[in-house]
């Protein structure tokens, strides 16, 4: 090869290397989107509570306004929760009584706890006049954790398996607790109702009724000093009791939510057993 040709090749090599560097695409670390904030509302109710149907209507209106960003759990516990002699169902549960002890006895009805955040008075329970503003304020916040929920239900064996994934969107000090529960919709039974003639609706459609807390009532430990974007996963299995009129998989929803060391619900998620 002539001397001039060798010089030309040597001169071109740095040019080609420089060109390759200049044409390389720039890469940035993509941060996962936190998604929408989901608000968990724990409504306290009872078959003997004449004002509770109005509270349920208010919550259903708020859910219609915010769509899937509101999860409603109706807990039958307390002074108004005992059934009528003619009642088909007893909606009270040991877990519901435990949650009443945890969240405090309502000083009036209708009453609900929004994301387990206490008011300025230190009380978790809030009357219906405050629900709209509390839910709106919570929805405006970015979720501190993200949740995934995969539900597998076998219609023949009545076995369900739920896989819950928890991803912190930032470092979180202390323990994170995971609560997993089942609620059932459209249970027709007696209900005291101040708005109907005679004061009792004998064909009332009970909504979002707590049926079973699969974890401990106060939740199970899912993470300690959680690290940003480090996923933790937990699997739960449960067999639905055999029953002719309730425990209807078509009307059952699985709910999961995560609480921090203060007890506040950081994020929730729900899915039907049968899509």
According to DSSP, the residues that pair with 174 across neighbouring strands are none
Q: What is the 3-state secondary structure (H, E, C) of 51-90?
A: CHHHHHHHHHHHHHHHHHHEEEEEEECCCCCCCCCCCCCC
What confidence score (pLDDT) does residue 11 get? 46
For residues 88-104, give the mean pLDDT: 96
pLDDT in tens, 224-264: 999 999 999 999 999 999 988 999 999 999 999 999 999 99
Interval 1-57: pLDDT, tens:
554 445 444 445 444 444 445 555 554 444 555 689 999 999 999 999 999 999 999
Domain boundaries, the chain: 39-272
Residue 23: per-residue pLDDT: 55
Q: What pLDDT sits at residue 219?
A: 96
Q: Please report the pLDDT score of residue 107 as a whole number.
A: 84
Residue 28 pLDDT: 45
Quickly count: other Cβ atoms within 10 Å of residue 117's Cβ: 16
pLDDT score recorded for residue 8: 45
Query: For the structural domain made of 39-272, what CATH number should be given?
Result: 2.60.40.10
- The whole-number pLDDT of residue 2 equals 52
Q: 28: which 2 tokens? A: 């940035």
Residue 120 in tokens: 């300025």
Q: What is the pLDDT of residue 24?
A: 53
pLDDT per position as a tens digit, 151-208: 999 999 999 999 999 999 999 999 999 999 999 999 999 999 999 999 999 999 999 9
pLDDT score recorded for residue 243: 86
Please state whether the peptide bond connecting residue 173 to the residue before it is cis, i.e. omega within 30 degrees of 0: no
| Residue, of 81 and 8, whose pLDDT is higher | 81
More confident residue, 164 or 121: 164
Rounded mean pLDDT of 64-80? 95
pTM here is: 0.87
In this structure, the strands spanning 220-226 and 172-184 are: antiparallel
Are 77 and 224 in contact by the 8 Å Cβ rule? The answer is no
């Amino acid at each position: 090869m002539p001397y001039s040709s060798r010089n030309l090749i040597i001169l071109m090599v740095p040019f080609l290397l420089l060109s390759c560097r200049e044409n390389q695409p720039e890469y940035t670390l993509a941060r996962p989107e936190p998604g929408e904030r989901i608000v968990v509302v724990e409504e306290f109710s009872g078959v003997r509570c004449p004002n509770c149907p109005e509270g349920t209507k208010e919550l259903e209106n708020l859910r219609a306004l915010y769509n899937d960003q509101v999860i409603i759990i109706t807990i039958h516990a307390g002074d108004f929760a005992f059934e009528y002699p003619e009642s088909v169902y007893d909606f009270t549960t040991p877990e519901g009584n435990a949650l009443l002890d945890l969240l405090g006895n309502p000083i009036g009805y209708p009453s609900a706890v929004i994301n387990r955040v206490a008011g300025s008075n230190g009380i978790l329970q809030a009357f219906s006049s405050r629900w709209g503003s509390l839910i709106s304020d919570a929805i405006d916040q970015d979720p501190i954790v993200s949740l995934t929920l995969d539900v597998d239900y076998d219609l023949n064996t009545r076995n369900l398996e739920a896989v819950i994934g928890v991803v912190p969107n930032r470092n979180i000090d202390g323990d994170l607790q995971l609560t997993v529960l089942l609620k059932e919709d459209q249970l027709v039974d007696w209900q005291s109702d101040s708005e109907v003639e005679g004061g009792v609706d004998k064909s009332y459609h009970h909504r979002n009724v707590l049926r079973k807390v699969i974890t401990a009532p106060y939740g199970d430990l899912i993470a300690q000093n959680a690290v940003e974007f480090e996923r933790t996963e937990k699997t739960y299995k449960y067999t639905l009791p055999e029953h002719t009129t309730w425990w209807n998989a078509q009307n059952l929803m699985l709910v999961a939510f995560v609480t921090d060391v203060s007890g506040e619900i950081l994020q929730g998620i729900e899915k039907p057993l049968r899509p």
